Amino acid sequence: MNIVVLDGYAANPGDLSWEPFRQFGELTVFPRTAAEDVIARASKADIILTNKVQFPREVLQQLPQLKLIAILATGYNTVDCEAAHQLGIAVANIPAYSTESVVQMVFAHLLNVCLRVEHYANDVRKGRWSNNSDFCYWDTPLLELAGKTLGIYGLGNIGRRVAEVANAFGLRVIAHTSKAQEDLPAYITKVDFKELLQQSDVLTLHCPLTKDTHHLINGETLQLMQPTAILINTGRGPLVDEFEVAEALETGCLKAYCADVMGNEPPAADNPLLQVPNAFITPHIAWATFEARQRLMQIALENVKAFINGTPQNVVNSF
């Protein structure tokens, strides 16, 4: 087997090892691969491991030796899965490896808005507390979560875990989901989308990106939200219309926007969300804890082993 890793740097910048994959055959690891280099680097590959490299039909058609694309992520929209199926190429992903880490990022963002810990820590480091007239000071609103309403759009693995943690914080939890109320924990109340927008003090998005959820949050839906609401997006950047969100922040129609994902990554330098107050953007790192990446590498290894042994797992294209 000829195994090629096309963009291995993000998953493994050097603190993990690709060596276990060598048990299956020849291994070549590229940290990054530009679009124009994909075919040359992948032309003799039986198995490709990749995260963000694009595989449209016209690329797949030029890779006759390819048998498996092992995605180093949960999302697999980078591959034309229908074309892969027609060409006899299996596509396997890695589900649920980053749930705990993403949930942790959701609450890191939320607690940052509520208490602005880094802001105050930096101030103290600069001597502001030492020179203060009183025993304490604050110059931002300080918010308590208990008793407020957290709304969740999408109750998959991450959404359910967010709900569990929110309940522990004393938040009232509501959710827009296809699941029946009787199948939900007692602390989650199912609501329709309009009620979700209107009632949420905090709204967090945990749904797939589809044609129905593209720009789910836009100028119209933002008008239904409370001006004091906090919007969190650790799902996919295009779930929100970034220009409309920036305008809502600038005009006081939304309190804060917290995101670990953007519509284009990396974002353009002139994206308004990079400048507008109360937009808190992290560079798509919720998945990237050491522990989550360890799980990712282990499941990727298991996906390759299972495929070679004739018992494919985590295949997403009905191979």
- Percent residues over pLDDT 90 in the chain: 98
What confidence tens digit (pLDDT) does each residue in 130-172 have? 999 999 999 999 999 999 999 999 999 999 999 999 999 999 9
How much is the pLDDT for 318? 78
Q: Answer yes or no: is pLDDT of 216 > 80.
A: yes
Q: Which residues are catalytic?
A: 236, 265, 284
Concatenate the DSSP letters of all residues of 138-187 into one string.
Answer: --S-----TT-EEEEE--SHHHHHHHHHHHHTT-EEEEE-SS-GGGS-TT
Based on C-alpha coordinates, what's the Rg of the chain? 22
Mean pLDDT of 237-243: 98
Q: Answer yes or no: is pLDDT of 79 > 90.
A: yes
CA dihedral for 53, 297, 238, 82, sign (positive or negative): positive
- Does residue 267 have a cis bond before it (omega within 30 degrees)? no
Separation of alpha carbons 31 and 51, rounded Å: 11
How much is the pLDDT for 62? 98
> Among candidates 233, 217, 208, which has minimal Cα distance to 284?
233
Mean pLDDT of 213-219: 98
> Among candidates 173, 193, 206, which has minimal Cα distance to 103?
206
How much is the pLDDT for 319? 63
